Each structure stands twice: as structure tokens, then as C-alpha cells.
Structure 1
């Protein structure tokens, strides 16, 4: 009987943190309690440990299981990798048991190539969005998987904006972005010596290896040493079907806490950007709106989000830190975890949770660092 290295979100739960990592366990848990989570699978922390035992290779057994689960994911979503009719695009994220710096950045829009980008441009009637996704994917993949520095791509974007006489990325047209994608691929070839990969499965294996590799990078190693995190834990990899926040003005992305992490005050605290993808909020490329403004923009998605926040707080009995996307007015949850907070907030939240009947006094005391 061969070992199980891969789990669909619906096969896991919150108690499987050691095997699925924090992110994977919480995606599984959110799926189980019926929240709108784009479906996918988690490659276990044991597969990461095995990767190092096998001399930094993904062995054939693990590769076969990943391919098998791509098939299962295609069945769930009704989309296929590299398909000209209904292509599947995924995000790849790392997720260790303990959240730590130095781990691999997210890769979005994996599965794109010249043919697929043309397909989604026609299907969506939005070529600008399609080329924007492709441009971002080449940039992220080059930076994160192949370690071609971000700065080369940023310089190309800045040159293009100066040339077109615009100041913001969003002012570039579909044609501009198509040209930029071509320049990015030329940059990739110049630095790596080979063409940018077009096969989605090859792209995925490259991304999975990059997540495993990031477990052993200098920053991660220093953090583990300082925080007594064993090297043997490894990191999991989450492969999730894409929800797009950058398809137009009825889309967006955001991060939010169910309470204020600085004061502990109850109420939504966070930021939201329309027509954007996740890294835009974190990267500070554009100024986000306060989460409350989402109510005017997307009243239905906002009402649903408020419900989801309540469900998650009641379920985890703690303040939650969440990432989400709105695609054409529909809400998708991408992540939840217990939120980090200041000492002052920790005290207030612990006391409030007792008052709200969510925690006993003994549990509340243990929640404070």
C-alpha cells in the first residue's frame, strides 16, 4: 500500500495541521463547514521531508499522486489544465505548520501559456485581464521559482509606463501588456538560457519544488533556529483553483481581521482593492480602501462576508485573519488563521471572548502569550 502524499481539501480537517500545514488544514476546515472556497488539494509536509531524503527530487510516486489529484481537481471544477475550451488556472502557496517568514511567495495564474491566454481573452471578452494575468504569472514564476530577480521585470514595466506616458499599471492596455509578456519571456530566456515553460504540469512541478526548496533557505533556517521549529517538520503545498479579483470593477480582493489587531475592538478591520489580485494589496502598489467601503461596492458579497466572519469566529473561537476575493460580485474565501495581535489587543480579546461565552476563563488565560 503506497503512502498518501496528497489530499483534496474535502478530505482534510483542522486537526491535520501537522500533515497539511496551517493553511491546508484551514482550507479543508472551511470547505467542511460549507464556506465558498475555490477547490484544490494539499501536498503534505511529509512529501517535503521525502523530497530532501531523495536528494532534492520529487520521486515518481509523489509525482504520480500529484498528477492523479490534478485529474480529480479537473473533475471538481469541470476545467482542464492547458485546455483550449475551458482551461484550469491555479494558485500555488506554501503552508507550514507554523507560519514563518522566508517561505515561498504565492504564485498566481499558473497554467497559462500563449494558447490559454488567447482562450481566456476571448471567453471573458476581456483581453486586458487575460494578458495582465499572463504578465503577472511570468513575473512571479521567474522570480519565485527560477530566482530571476523582480527588479528586472519592474524596470521593464517602468520603461513601458514612461514610454506610454502613464503612471499606473492599470493604465496599460491589453496590447501593452501583451508586449510586456513578450519582453518578460525574453528576459527569462536571457537569464535562464531556455524558453519559459508552456506545459502547465511542468509549471506546477517547478512551483512545488520551489515551495519545498524555500523550507531550506537562509531566512527560514534562521527563523526556525530562533523559534525552536524542527527542520523535520517540512512545509505543505496548496494548489487551489483561481478566483479572479482582477476581471473588472465588479471584482476585487482583500484582507481582513474580525477584530482590530492593535486594540482588540470587535468589528471588521481590513483593506480592499477593486480590480486587483492578492499581491496588489500586500505590495502597496495601489492605495486600498477600508473594508467598510466594500459594502457600497459589493453589497451582496459584503453581507455574505460578514456572515462568514461570524461563522469563522464562532468555529475557531478566536479572532480570525482572512484573505478573500470577489469575482463578478461572488465571494471566495482563500485563507483564514488565528490573527496576530498586540499585547493590549490580546488581553481585550481574551476578556471579550469570555464575556461573549466563547471561552472559559481558564482558556482565555492560556490564550495570552
Structure 2
């Protein structure tokens, strides 16, 4: 029986739900595999590590296992890296040593921040819990941060907190053992559908609609978002949107920056591109038809914008899912509502 070891390095204040999602997937896959099993191992800087909700777990000391081989090591954290002191610097050096040994490295919650600080994500796509992304992107411009639920880029894995860890593990196991196993694993875990890598994290509704501010502020931002979603095929300008909701362009930009950490035009473009991606996967319309229906004036404009956002052209996206269409099984990924 081939034994695969997956280590989870727990940092103080880690998310218990994030850890549970990942370890549950590993435990469930063992019932589906023959000849190979996965074992979870908890590591810590201390023998007892307390989670964000106050539950403490017993761990093996990471430093004592520096020579031990794992298939993958995940850093599980919620908080960002503080101003580095001796313990943090020692941890970063230990992570670099794990990378030199050839381990697959992952970050759960804000775990990718620690990998980035150690210089182990340069040139990789990565993600972490959405509130931390702007700061990390500014601090580490060499890392390709996204707001996706999870990222799998060669030997680097990362995801947001909570249930995103389960999504990440299912897809990673699917890469290793086949898509059919990933679907079976999702079903065994009681998931209605398997969420894709490129689904975006959703901010809490209060954050998305500005509900933490005044009622007037919330209403204006909600109106602007509704206008965008209702006019994907014939996009409105930022000036038109601000005029329709009764604020200045500058006020509208401040609302988007404050509550969505985005500029209106970029947010609007992402909505149109997400709609285009769903249509490429779920309809038989031509690439040009889809581009025009999503507000792009030409095929080249559509192709360039799509590749800049998703890393592939619309035609690449369509061919990637063509086999499913020919088999009469269109992609059933849901929307990001």
C-alpha cells in the first residue's frame, strides 16, 4: 500500500473550518482508492496551536521534521505575516528548505502570504482570503494573485478560507487520479456540484453592496451594480452609470474602491467576461456571437480582453470544453451569484 503524507502547518489563529475541509477530503478519498492512501499530519511551531475559534490542536513540532519527506505541505493561517521576528524568520527559512527538497507547497486561508514572504511564489498564480489580496499584491508584485477560490500552478497550491480548502483538495486529487475520481469524491462529500478553480471569491453581501455604510450609500452602489448586470450586452459608460444613480463619477469610483476594492470599469468588464465564459462553456453560439452579446465591438477586442483575464483565448476555452459538448454533457458550472 502506497502511503502519501500531507502535512498541515498550523499557525496561531488558523481557521478550523479551513483545516477540516482539507483533511475531510483526504479522509474521504481513501475509501475510493485502491493501492494508495493519504495520511494527514498536523505540524506547529509549538506542540499546541490554538485556532481562531479558541480550539487547540496537538501538533508535531515542524522543526523536528525538517528532514522528513511529505508529498505536500500546506500552511494554514488566517492572519497576515507580522513584522518578521526570530520565530517568523526561522519559519520562512524552514519553508525554503522544504521547497529545496522538492515538496509541493500550499497555502490555505492566508497561508499563501507566508509562501510569498519566503519568496516561494515568484512567477506563480496564487490566491488567499480576499481581504488580504490588495496588500499582498502590492507587497509582492512578482506573484500573480487572483481572487479565485483556489489556484493550482505547477507545484504550488493555494486557496481562500473555509470550504475553498475542500475544493482545492478535490481538484488536486483529481489531477493526480483523474476527473472521474474528483466527481466521485465530491459526491461522497455531499457536494451538489464541484466548484471550478476560476470561480471568484464572493465578498460578504454587506461588503459588496456597501451595507456597512449609510443607507444612501448602500442604495447607490446597489443601483450601480444592478445597472451593470442589466446592461452587459450594451455597456454603459462610468459617466452614464453615475448619472443614472445620482452621484458624480468620482463619488462612484470612491464607492467601488471602498467596498469592492475595484474601479467601476474593471468590475464591469469582469462581469461581461464571466458571462462570456459561461456562454462559451454552456452554449453553441460562435465566439464572435458571444463576444458581441457581451459588449465587445470586435473579435480581436474580445480575444485580447479574455486572454488578459483568464490566460487563454475564447477559442482555447471553447475547444477545451468541446468534448463535453460533443458528448452532450455541457459544463454545468454555476454562476458566481
TM-score of the aligned structures, taking structure 2 as reference length: 0.31
Decide which structure has the larger Cα Rg and report it.
Answer: 2
The structure showing larger relative contact order (alpha-carbon pairs under 8 Å, at least 6 residues apart) is 1
TM-score by length of 1: 0.29
